[in-house]
Amino acid sequence: MKSSKNWRWPEGTLFRWQDQVPRIDLSVEGAVLKGSLHAELDLKDPDLARFVHLLLGLLEEETVSSKALQKLLVPEKYQNLLREYEDREQAFSGVRERFMANLEAVDEVVFDLFGLTRGERAHVKARLASFPLDRLRPRYPWEVGEPRPLRAYTEDRFR
């Protein structure tokens, strides 16, 4: 089996990543991967930043540390993989849009059944879009569930 070459982090790139950043807080701005005030990574290439962001979304840990970044394997031909991902994502976007339109239609039917006024409907939608309810996420068909690791304290259980 032929080993594939992996891209290497440029010297001194990771010194700006000092936090344990929750994966959900990661964002990409141009060529910079941002996590918090003390966690940003200038990758000099917007495609690389988007690819690293996608890879970090697949980690099992809930937070991203500089150690996790150092272990990340990025293939040299990541542009091809990123292009393939974006093509498939674009092809699937129509399905997602139709699903969300149907979901909106269901919401309107439920609002009608409860006899809510326009103001009440707007209030319900605004409340669902604000913290902490905006953190609740239904399981959409296109999203992969993230099983949380079991936290068992077996080392002191039988003492």
Give 43-88 pLDDT, tens digit per residue.
Answer: 888 998 899 888 888 777 888 888 888 888 888 888 999 999 889 8
- Residue 156: in which H helix or E strand, if any? none
Name the region of 11 (left: φ>0; alpha: ψ -120 to 50; beta: rest): beta
Mean pLDDT of 2-23: 66
Q: What is the pLDDT of residues 101-136, one digit of tens each?
A: 999 999 999 999 999 999 999 999 999 888 888 877
Which is nearest to 24 in space by CA: 140, 130, 139, 137? 137
DSSP string, 60-123: SSSEE-HHHHHH--EETTHHHHHHHHHHHHHHHHHHHHHHHHHHHHHHHHHHHHHT--HHHHHH
Global pTM value: 0.59
CA gyration radius, the chain: 21
